[in-house]
Amino acid sequence: MKNHTLLFLFISLTFAQAKAQFLGGIFSQQEKKEKLLKEQIAQLYIQHSLLTSGYNVKDSGLTTVHALKDQSFELHADYFNSFEQVNPAVAKNPKVKEIYDLQNRMAGTFKRELDWQHKEQQLSREEMTYLSRVYNHLLAESQRDLNELTELLTKDKLQLTDQQRMAMLDQLYAGMKDKNAFAGYFTGKCRKLAMSRKQGSQEKSAIKKLYGIH
């Protein structure tokens, strides 16, 4: 009888240890997965900030044409005035409308994600603040681009050749495309993190219920 009791205790302890290792392994994998996703989200924001800085450098190169006003070049006034006119080929370029559409899509993507995350409540307060900060940062950058676009299309605002105006329009378009693509990818990562966390929570509850853990 004593041997049976010792055997039962041994089996119980072994089962308890195995169950703890099993549960610990599952929970540990979930935590590692969440940590990796959060690191990827942070890296995305840093990469986008660096990429945006690159666009800013390109844009600043175009604005140097303003310095021509202060130079002592003896050129005819009509030549300078022609730079201040906006060619219809620029003003009516399809990229102008697309820039506004891309900005609206980018804002809509973030708004939908913020609403969904508020509803699901899977991200911490700090993570929600981070998501909002990325959105506000992109919104401010896109508004700056729209302001530059307005100047580009306004008569007598900038002294640029048609070629320079087209180059600037191309850069604004490329920059807005990048912001819109980043918005989709970034919010996708945030959604994946929240869904992973929700699934992990459901799995934990199911396992605890299965093993009678309270």
If one counts the domains in the chain, the total is 1
Instruction: Tell whether 173 is covered by a domain.
Output: yes
pLDDT of residue 49: 60
In the chain, which residues have pLDDT < 50?
2-4, 6-11, 13, 15-16, 23, 57-80
- Cβ atoms within 10 Å, residue 113: 20
Instruction: Tell whether 201 is covered by a domain.
Output: no
pLDDT of residue 62: 42
71: containing domain? 48-189
pLDDT of residue 32: 66
Instruction: Tell whether 20 is covered by a domain.
Output: no
User: pTM of the prediction?
Assistant: 0.65
Instruction: Tell whether 2 is covered by a domain.
Output: no
The number of C-alpha atoms within 13 Å of 83 and in the hemisphere containing its C-beta is: 15
Write the CB contacts of 57 (distance below 8 Å, at least 6 apart in sequence). none
pLDDT of residue 95: 96
pLDDT of residue 157: 87
pLDDT of residue 135: 95
